[in-house]
């Protein structure tokens, strides 16, 4: 008799879990109260990349301006773009992908229940549907309910007056000036976009540097590039209050300084959405970071698993998908574990940034002796011909046998190049192994080869 598995949430953790369970012969039911695809597809990864693509095309116009014939001008400015059309392009991409996903579930004959699910016991949940509540029994369950934007104090008291990474797509017009709170991936991507649209952008960060946890050289490369384009940084600054007056919104910092703009976007992370799941009724252990799980994605209730942002491990969509698949396979008898170290971390600004595995600081904190090599795009043929010479590829090796422990990239195509090095980290390849590859010329990937030769 096949296992009945209830999956709460149809985002990047939930829907891959459902598909894998179906492949393995289970009877999955996926419950979703919102749009299929979750935050990533509808309000996160996909729509933000549509905006960033529009911004990068504007950014690229500067190159075309330098190539115009003598006496000719390319009179293009960002204010010539229609915000409504940018939003419509984003919406069309989201709708196309969501529709394809829904059709895939129809094709696979996977049961989809529309409504909110809450546990009433270790093997039963209630689904609040529009027509009334429905009781659903299950053998195992996967919680994949995702997260929502976090508003730390003092922003929580005025969050209705501010925007965030979910609601930014609903702004009625492009602001002429923006304060971005938070210098992580979310904050920097939106800072990059609004700057490309001609807005004055200020980034306020509580920590002393941007991109906490990433390599210091990567952070420096991104910050330097942003500052050249006019983005201002206020690092190590804590906000004491938020004020609104005369169409402007103002941050009052603890040092007494004030920063004003037409819009404030709070990109200070996300919080697990644990509301109304009925976790207290089944004795499941959780805290402010999310639902507690082991390496197998199993919660403190043996037949219930949690995958994706809701367990607080990673916060990346591709990590969520792998966790969902791992949970599915373990429900069906496997013993797979999730290694956060193997998941590429990507930032889609320009220049891009990406990393995988350990950087030098993290490796040394683990007591490892390491060596580092680095190659700059400034000496790479394709980078020079494309005018994309910012950044570098950096490799971290075990000092004894030169096993590749990690990699960091800042520069054009970083989010694509990182997968070559993710394979190296995953399969514990050595420097000599990676040098055996033939790297096509001219490509940005030649920077990897040059770093290997250093």
> Domain containing 253 — which CATH number?
3.50.50.60
For residue 73, tell me if it sits in a domain: no
Residues 159-172, mean pLDDT to the nearest whole number: 94
Same domain, 315 and 383: no
- Angle between helix axes 45-65 and 185-196 (nearest 10 degrees) is 40
pLDDT digits (tens, 9 = 90+) for 192-235: 999 999 999 999 999 999 999 999 999 999 999 999 999 999 99
The rounded percent of the chain whose pLDDT value lies above 90 is 88
For residue 57, tell me if it sits in a domain: no
| pLDDT value of position 437 | 97
Query: How confident is the prediction for the chain on average, in pLDDT?
Result: 95
Which residue do the tokens 């392009």 mark?
89
The rounded percent of the chain whose pLDDT value lies above 70 is 100
For residue 280, tell me if it sits in a domain: yes
For residue 62, tell me if it sits in a domain: no
Indicate the DSSP class of residue 401. T
Residues 30-37, mean pLDDT to the nearest whole number: 94
Same domain, 260 and 285: no
Give the end of a domain, one of 249, 268, 287. 268
CA 300 to mean position of chain CA atoms:
27
| pLDDT value of position 221 | 98
For the entire predicted model, the pTM comes to: 0.95
Give the end of a domain, one of 311, 341, 371. 341
Q: Is 318 a catalytic residue?
A: no
| pLDDT value of position 14 | 98
- For residue 1, pLDDT over 70 is answered with no
| pLDDT value of position 74 | 84
Rounded Cα–Cα distance for residues 317 and 307 (Å)? 11
Q: For residues 39 and 347, is the Cβ–Cβ distance under 8 A?
A: no
Give the end of a domain, one of 268, 293, 317. 268
Same domain, 15 and 143: yes
Residues 345-354, mean pLDDT to the nearest whole number: 98
Residues 326-332, mean pLDDT to the nearest whole number: 98
List C-alpha distances in Å: 212 to 47, 136, 209, 364. Answer: 24, 42, 7, 17
Same domain, 128 and 234: no
For residue 51, tell me if it sits in a domain: no
Same domain, 13 and 124: yes
pLDDT digits (tens, 9 = 90+) for 238-284: 999 999 988 899 999 999 999 999 999 999 888 887 878 999 899 99
Residues 363-386, mean pLDDT to the nearest whole number: 98
pLDDT digits (tens, 9 = 90+) for 50-81: 999 999 999 998 888 888 888 888 888 888 99
Same domain, 449 and 358: yes
Same domain, 124 and 175: no
| pLDDT value of position 73 | 84
Residues 145-169, mean pLDDT to the nearest whole number: 93
Same domain, 94 and 23: yes
Same domain, 129 and 36: yes
Burial of 275 (0-12, 13-18, 19+ CB in 10 A): exposed
What SS3 class is residue 267?
A: coil
Q: For residues 268 and 252, is the Cβ–Cβ distance under 8 A?
A: no
- For residue 158, pLDDT over 80 is answered with yes
Same domain, 246 and 326: no
Same domain, 261 and 278: no
Same domain, 310 and 337: yes
For residue 23, tell me if it sits in a domain: yes
Please give the tally of structural domains in the chain. Answer: 3
What CATH number is associated with residue 359?
3.30.390.30
For residue 83, tell me if it sits in a domain: no
Nearest one of 142, 136, 118, 112 to 31, comparing CA atoms: 112
The active-site residue, picked from 59, 318, 386, 441, is 441
Which residue do the tokens 């002393």 mark?
208
Give residue 23's domain range: 4-42+88-149+271-341
For residue 363, tell me if it sits in a domain: yes
């Amino acid at each position: 008799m096949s296992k009945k598995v209830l999956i709460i949430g149809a985002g990047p953790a939930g829907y891959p879990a459902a598909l894998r369970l179906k492949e393995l012969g289970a009877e999955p039911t996926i419950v979703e109260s919102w749009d299929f695809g979750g935050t990533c597809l509808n309000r996160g990864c996909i729509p933000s990349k549509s905006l960033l693509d529009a911004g990068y095309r504007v950014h690229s116009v500067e190159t075309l301006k330098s190539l115009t014939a003598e006496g000719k001008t390319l009179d293009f400015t960002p204010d010539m773009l229609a915000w409504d059309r940018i939003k419509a392009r984003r919406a069309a991409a989201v709708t196309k992908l969501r529709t394809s996903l829904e059709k895939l579930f129809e094709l696979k004959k996977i049961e989809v229940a529309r409504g909110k699910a809450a546990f009433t016991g270790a093997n039963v949940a209630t689904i609040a549907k529009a027509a009334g509540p429905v009781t659903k029994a299950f053998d195992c369950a996967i919680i994949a309910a995702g997260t929502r934007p976090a508003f730390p104090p003092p922003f929580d008291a005025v969050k209705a007056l501010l925007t965030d990474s979910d609601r930014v797509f609903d702004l009625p017009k492009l602001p002429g000036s923006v304060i971005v709170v938070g210098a992580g991936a979310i904050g920097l991507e939106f800072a990059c976009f609004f700057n490309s649209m001609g807005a004055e952008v200020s980034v306020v960060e509580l920590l002393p540097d941007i991109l906490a946890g990433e390599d210091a050289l990567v952070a420096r490369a991104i910050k330097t590039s942003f500052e050249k384009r006019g983005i201002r940084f206020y690092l190590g600054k804590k906000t004491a209050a938020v004020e609104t007056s005369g169409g402007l919104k103002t941050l009052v910092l603890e040092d007494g300084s004030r920063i004003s703009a037409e819009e404030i976007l709070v990109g200070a992370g996300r919080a697990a959405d644990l509301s109304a799941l009925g976790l207290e009724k089944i004795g499941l252990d959780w805290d402010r970071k999310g639902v507690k799980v082991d390496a197998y994605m199993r919660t403190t209730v043996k037949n219930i698993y949690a995958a994706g942002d809701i367990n607080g491990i990673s916060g990346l969509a591709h990590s969520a998908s792998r966790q969902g698949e791992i949970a599915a396979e373990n429900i069906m008898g496997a013993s797979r574990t999730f290694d956060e170290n193997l998941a590429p971390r990507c930032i889609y600004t320009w220049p891009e940034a990406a990393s995988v595995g350990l950087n030098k600081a993290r490796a040394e904190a683990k007591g490892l002796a390491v060596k580092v090599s680095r190659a700059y795009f400034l000496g790479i043929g394709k980078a020079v011909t494309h005018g994309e010479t910012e950044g570098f590829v950096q490799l971290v090796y075990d000092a004894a046998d030169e096993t590749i422990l990690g990699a960091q990239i800042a520069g054009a195509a970083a989010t694509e190049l990182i997968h070559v090095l993710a394979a190296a980290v995953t399969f514990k390849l050595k420097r000599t192994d990676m040098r055996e590859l033939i790297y096509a010329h001219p490509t940005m990937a030649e920077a990897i080869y040059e770093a290997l030769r250093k």
